[in-house]
Amino acid sequence: HKYLLHCFWDYAWIKNEDWRSLGKLILESKMREKIRVRIGGQGEDKELLVEKVALLPSQKKKTDKDFYTALFVQTCDTPSGNLNIKSVKIKKTEEIGTPDWGNIWLYDALVYFSGYMSKGEFKNKSKKIPRFYKHCKQYGETKTENQTLLVKELNSLKKILPKDCEMFVP
């Protein structure tokens, strides 16, 4: 099962300082087959906004909603050509070629929840990692500005889970 993902890295798409609308985005398929995608970003309220779009070969389609940031495009289909995403308001086009998709593989994945924290609390307690930081264990360098926080600073799950809940399941 494929879960292909393309992330936007250009700050024009992902870091909207003045919080102006990118408008309705125009998706254009340069493919030989139909493709179904989900485009994700933020709406005017700064909350996650995800819209599903199905495109026939060589079709153009506008999103129904106004986006204020564009963060990712996801598909489970195999792209046979380019997908272009355009914002008329910022005069930008993201051209996504077949090698520009990453496949997220999960094999018998175990997920460990080690704590929780509200977004506001995280913003207050975390430390900023600048874009292009080169001392990150997971990457050669970071592509965007990030935040870091030690796991031990998270709130304990014991506060929100039932008392009879087993805290560790191997």
Domain boundaries, the chain: 4-103, 119-159
As a whole number of angstroms, the distance between CA 12 and CA 65 comes to 18
Mean per-residue pLDDT for 58-64? Answer: 97
Query: Which two three-digit tokens encode residue 54?
Result: 């199905």
Whether this model's pTM surpasses 0.85: no
Furthest CA-CA distance within the chain: 56
Q: Which of 27-36, 65-74, 142-151 has the lowest mean pLDDT?
A: 142-151
**Quick one: tokens of 145?**
């500005």
Please answer whether residues 42 and 111 qualify as being in contact, where contact means their C-beta atoms are separated by less than 8 angstroms: no
Q: Which among 155, 147, 150 has a CA at the least distance from the CA of 116?
A: 155
Q: What local confidence, expressed as pLDDT, does residue 21 receive?
A: 97
User: Looking at residue 125, what DSSP letter applies?
Assistant: H
Q: What is the pLDDT of residues 91-118, one digit of tens each?
A: 999 999 999 999 877 667 777 788 888 8
Topology, domain 4-103: Hypothetical Protein Tm1070; Chain: A (2.60.290)
Rg of the chain over Cα atoms, rounded to whole angstroms, equals 19
The C-alpha atoms of residue 125 and residue 149 are separated, in whole angstroms, by 7
Q: What is the pLDDT of residue 147?
A: 87
Residue with tokens 């070969």: 57
Instruction: Report how far residue 26's alpha carbon sits from residue 38's, in angstroms, rounded to the nearest whole number.
Output: 13
pLDDT of 39 > 70? The answer is yes
Mean confidence (pLDDT) of the chain: 88
Residue-level pLDDT at 143? 76
Tell me how far apart the alpha carbons of residues 9 and 77 are, in angstroms, rounded to a whole number: 22
Give the chain's length: 170
Whole-number Å distance between alpha carbons of 167 and 158: 8
In this prediction, residue 2 carries a pLDDT of 77
